[in-house]
Amino acid sequence: MSEPIVVNGSVRVPAAAITVHASRASGPGGQNVNKVATKVDLRVDLALVEGLSSPARDRLLRLAARRLDAEGRLLVTSQATRTQSLNVEDARDKVRALIAAALVRPKTRRPTRPTAVARERRIEGKERRSVVKRTRSRPGTWD
């Protein structure tokens, strides 16, 4: 059984919510690649994550939508290194980063209005452009 993933002081993934499965990885590894199971599939039952607020849980489900399996568990794979233990740590780091990203509340957009100077500058630019276009036309068609 693995140990819990601690995201911060209040949010953690209990060990009971984590399942680790190892299989043979593709890529480099020499003769070991056909013998040693170094690729790691780490599954996390998101319903068991402790300390998440309801909005954070919704954000997490939205962020992890493409990585969910049929049972609604988060599936994270890692085959970055040639050792199983380092791949397990890499997968745990990925889960930690994903949950940490879900904890960040997005900034609410407050609509702003252009300043008086900016409006003036915009109108002046339009007038300048208008003069340029007017001078390109045939003489005698201007006012």
Q: Which domains does the chain have, with CATH numbers?
A: 5-103 (3.30.160.20)
Average pLDDT score over residue span 126-138:
90
- Distance in angstroms (rounded) separating the CA atoms of residues 92 and 43: 10
What are the residues whose beta carbons fall under 8 Å from the beta carbon of 97, sequence distance 6 or more?
Answer: none
Q: Is residue 2 classed exposed, middle or buried when 0-12, 13-18 and 19+ CB atoms within 10 A define those classes?
A: middle
Confidence of residue 132 (pLDDT cuts 50, 70, 90): very high
Lowest mean pLDDT among 4-8, 31-35, 44-48: 31-35
Instruction: With beta carbons less than 8 A apart as the criterion, state whether 78 and 88 touch.
Output: yes
Q: How far apart are CA 42 and CA 67, in angstroms?
A: 11
% of the chain at pLDDT higher than 90: 41
Residue 3: pLDDT band (50, 70, 90) is confident
* pLDDT bracket for residue 39 (50, 70, 90): confident
78 vs 117: CA distance, rounded Å: 54
